[in-house]
Amino acid sequence: MIIPTEYQAGYAKAREIDPIVADHYMRHTMIGDPACDAVIDLLNTLPREKGYGWIERGIEDGPDAIPDAPELIRDFFADLEKPPAWFDHEATYAGGSAFFRNGEMFILAVTGAIMVEGFSTMMSKSFSITGRMVDGAVKRLQQNTRHIIEIMLPGGLDRQSDGWKLSLRTRLVHARVRNLLKHSDEWDTPAWGTPLSAAHISLAVCAFSALLLKRVGQLGVHLTTEERESFVHVWRYSGYLMGVQPDLDAATEADAMHLLAIGATCEPPPGMESIMLANAMINSSPLMVGLNEPAERQKWARWMHEVSRSLMGDEFADQLKYPPSRYRFISILTRIRWSNQIDQILRTMFPFIERKRHTHQFRRLLDISYYSDKGLRYTVPHHVHSEKDTQNEFR
């Protein structure tokens, strides 16, 4: 097994905790997504319009819609038409309901912690080189919110639903960016492994499922066991569509948290790219929620840095060069939890408040998501650097 040099110290520590999972994780830092990578390699040999026309029709209507496509492409879509045996559509409803009932807290946790923690791995080098997160952080935040909304809707992971299509589209974009980076002089494979590796895709899915449940719990959101299991189940299937490999498929919340712990131990400490990425996302969050005045943006960003630091801990926040905490007596998380508890009491006492809150939360989620009048777009990057890419409608 080849161990990229940047991982060697962390890998040695991780093997002392769980050698089997550590070995699985490290092996997958050198693996991308074999099935999807093969599709991208084939598309690179074909006229752009023709090849990606097959991709669009394949995502929308399956292999029967592209009888003229090469067998490799048709087989790729055919393998995804039927869900795996473990997937249960009805088991997704409780998790989706919990998400929409607490939508603002979930998105606060995603923006303030999950995207920072999930992407502060070696994955940050991919985003830094391409500029697709640092330069376009607002759109990335909005697109991630859109993806979460779509997979959490009732039936959002049905074959013809946008959650299913966005999950698969994300997989194809990852494969295309991986292909561009692997052929770029800026990527150092012996040191960093495969760009957007299978290990990182799995780690990101675990962060958006199990770690997100932990973070919203810190914000005062209490979910039932059924809701937690359902939430993880939704993300497990979305991760399957995004190409999570079987050896890194976390079936339960506990499995996902263990993989996160081992993966985080294997990863090197946050570098300059992680620092840039984390602060770009936090500083872009005011624009995501519609704040454009400089004073408002600065105030919101300070508040978000405080929330992020409180969720992730001082040690990690200091590594990311966050400003020091301004709260000396009552932490920001305590204030948020108190607010949520008061809100819960009022909703219990006055049911009409609960109904209005549900409507407000759903509208708010839509406001901070990326939607286009043109509908879903299936263009993928064609240049390793975002600013030089002509296909910038929905990368």
User: When comparing pLDDT for 349 and 82, which is higher?
Assistant: 82
What's the pLDDT score for residue 281? 87
Distance in angstroms (rounded) separating the CA atoms of residues 130 and 387: 8
Average pLDDT of every residue of the chain: 88
Nearest in space to 69 (alpha carbons), one of 39, 91, 33, 101? 39
Each residue of 232-268: pLDDT tens digit?
999 999 999 999 999 999 999 999 999 999 999 999 9
Structure tokens at 10: 């962390």
Distance in angstroms (rounded) separating the CA atoms of residues 114 and 214: 10
Position 108, amino acid: L
Confidence of residue 20 (pLDDT cuts 50, 70, 90): very high
What's the pLDDT score for residue 355? 63
Structure tokens at 279: 């602060």
How would you label 122-142 residue by residue, b for 16+ Cβ within 10 Å and e otherwise? bbbbbbbbbebbbbbbbbbbb
What's the pLDDT score for residue 291? 82
Confidence of residue 364 (pLDDT cuts 50, 70, 90): low
Position 193, amino acid: G
What's the pLDDT score for residue 288? 81
- Burial of residue 388 (CB within 10 Å: 0-12, 13-18, 19+) is exposed
Structure tokens at 116: 């920072």
Confidence of residue 347 (pLDDT cuts 50, 70, 90): low
Distance in angstroms (rounded) separating the CA atoms of residues 287 and 350: 33
How would you label 9-48 residue by residue, b for 16+ Cβ within 10 Å and e otherwise? ebbeebbeebeebbbbbbbbbbbbbeebbbbbebbeeeee
Q: Is the pLDDT score of 222 beyond 80?
A: yes
Q: Is the pLDDT score of 392 beyond 50?
A: no
Q: Is the pLDDT score of 11 beyond 90?
A: yes
Distance in angstroms (rounded) separating the CA atoms of residues 257 and 163: 24
User: When comparing pLDDT for 182 and 73, which is higher?
Assistant: 73
**Domain assignments of the chain as residue spans, ordered by start:** 5-30+82-328+367-373
What is the DSSP track for 226-264? Answer: HHHHHHHHHHHHHHHHTT--GGG---SHHHHHHHHHHHH
Confidence of residue 190 (pLDDT cuts 50, 70, 90): very high
Helices 272-288/123-130 angle, 10° precision: 70
Q: Is the pLDDT score of 382 beyond 70?
A: no
**369 neighbors 149 (Cβ within 8 angstroms):** yes
Q: How far apart are the first and last CA of the chain?
A: 33
The whole-number average pLDDT for the span 20-46 is 96
Summarize the chain as % helix, strand, coil (round to 5). Answer: 70, 0, 30
What's the pLDDT score for residue 326? 81
Each residue of 117-165: pLDDT tens digit?
988 899 999 888 886 655 567 777 888 889 999 999 999 999 999 999 9
What's the pLDDT score for residue 374? 57
Q: Is the pLDDT score of 394 beyond 50?
A: no
Q: Is the pLDDT score of 343 beyond 70?
A: yes
What's the pLDDT score for residue 184? 86
User: When comparing pLDDT for 303 and 350, which is higher?
Assistant: 303
Which pTM does this prediction carry? 0.90
**95 neighbors 230 (Cβ within 8 angstroms):** yes
Distance in angstroms (rounded) separating the CA atoms of residues 26 and 4: 9
What's the pLDDT score for residue 393? 38
- Burial of residue 183 (CB within 10 Å: 0-12, 13-18, 19+) is exposed
Distance in angstroms (rounded) separating the CA atoms of residues 317 and 64: 50
Nearest in space to 125 (alpha carbons), one of 117, 113, 137, 133? 133
Each residue of 53-79: pLDDT tens digit?
899 999 999 999 999 999 999 999 999
Structure tokens at 272: 């300059």
Each residue of 81-127: pLDDT tens digit?
999 999 999 999 999 999 998 988 999 999 999 999 988 899 999 88
**347 neighbors 354 (Cβ within 8 angstroms):** yes
What's the pLDDT score for residue 354? 63
